[in-house]
């Protein structure tokens, strides 16, 4: 309790840094991966290859990818966000592609019969029907990225990972817990909120 009273403001700052890094990366991942996934469904060939190429980023160890960023972007928040963004892409991209591909052709044929353009079919039929699968990918990415953001402290990006690694270096379990517990709660709460949003979007669609 003494630690919390003394460092409460600092903990809130670290929490905000962790939140900011995580959700900026997720936001960028959604902005890029959802349109790209929709575009890949329009390609006659090569879409699976592109998804596999994007998947390569998730096979690179987190610390290695963060280290690779340093020569190009230095240290701090920018290389951390870029690395986390790359990690966020695959689940969202793959689920967007799979979700749109799984839309029943009956709906698409009906939309064509109504004279809808490809863009109209995508926005009004395919994306709404695929939203449950897309949101599942976003939830997975969000939980992953919140966890991986812990490692961003290695390159000076801040966040709650500072407490965990300082605690490990100093053999202080209180510091480790002060970093770990908020990260875990943030991941759980984010997943629960996104699940609620997923249910609302799919219910509204119905």
pLDDT digits over 33-70, tens only? 999 999 998 887 888 888 888 888 878 888 788 888 88
Number of domains within the chain:
1
Query: Which residues form the domain of 174?
Result: 2-205
Report the pLDDT averaged over residues 173-182.
89
Residues with Cβ within 8 Å of 17's Cβ and at least 6 positions away in sequence, in order, are: 77, 157, 158, 159, 160
**What is residue 1's predicted lDDT score, i.e. its pLDDT?**
57
Q: Whole-angstrom Cα distance, residue 158 to residue 78?
A: 11
Report the pLDDT value the prediction gives residue 104, as an integer from 0 to 100: 84
pTM exceeds 0.85, yes or no: yes
CATH assignment of the domain containing 110: 1.10.3720.10
Confidence of residue 145 (pLDDT cuts 50, 70, 90): very high
Q: If we measure between CA atoms, which residue out of 139, 112, 109, 127 comes closest to residue 41?
A: 127
Show contacts of 69-75: CB within 8 Å, 24+ apart: 69/155, 70/155, 75/155, 75/156, 75/157
Give the pLDDT of residue 156: 84
Assess whether pLDDT exceeds 60 at residue 78. yes
Is the pLDDT at 3 greater than 90, yes or no?
no
Query: What is the reported pLDDT for 183?
Result: 93
Percent of the chain with pLDDT over 70: 95
Q: Is 12 exposed, middle or buried (0-12, 13-18, 19+ CB in 10 A)?
A: exposed
Q: Taking all residues of the chain, what is their mean pLDDT, rounded to a whole number?
A: 87
Task: Could you list the beta-strand ranges (E) of 10-165.
Answer: none
Whole-angstrom Cα distance, residue 194 to residue 44? Answer: 32
3-state helix, strand and coil shares in percent for the chain, rounded to the nearest 5: 85, 0, 15
Q: Are 22 and 146 in contact (CB under 8 A)?
A: yes
* Better-predicted residue by pLDDT, 112 or 92: 92
Question: Residue 154 contacts by C-beta under 8 Å, 6 or more apart in sequence?
Answer: 63, 66, 161, 165
Neighbours of 60 (CB within 10 A): 14
């Amino acid at each position: 309790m003494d630690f919390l009273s003394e460092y409460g403001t600092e903990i809130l700052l670290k929490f905000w840094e962790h939140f900011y890094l995580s959700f900026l990366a997720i936001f960028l991942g959604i902005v890029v991966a959802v349109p790209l996934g929709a575009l890949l469904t329009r390609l006659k060939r090569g879409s699976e290859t592109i998804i596999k190429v994007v998947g390569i980023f998730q096979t690179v160890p987190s610390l290695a990818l963060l280290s690779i960023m340093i020569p190009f972007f230095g240290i701090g928040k920018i290389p951390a966000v870029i690395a986390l963004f790359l990690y966020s892409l695959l689940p969202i991209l793959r689920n967007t592609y799979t979700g749109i591909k799984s839309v029943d052709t009956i709906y698409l044929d009906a939309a064509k019969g109504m004279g809808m353009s490809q863009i109209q079919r995508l926005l009004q039929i395919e994306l709404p029907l695929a939203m449950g699968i897309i949101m599942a990918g976003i939830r997975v990415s969000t939980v992953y990225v919140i966890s991986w953001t812990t490692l961003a402290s290695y390159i000076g990006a801040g966040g709650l990972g500072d407490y965990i690694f300082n605690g490990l270096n100093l053999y202080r379990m209180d510091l480790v817990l002060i970093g770990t517990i908020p990260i875990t709660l943030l991941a759980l709460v984010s997943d629960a909120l996104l699940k609620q949003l997923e249910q609302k979007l799919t219910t509204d669609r119905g």
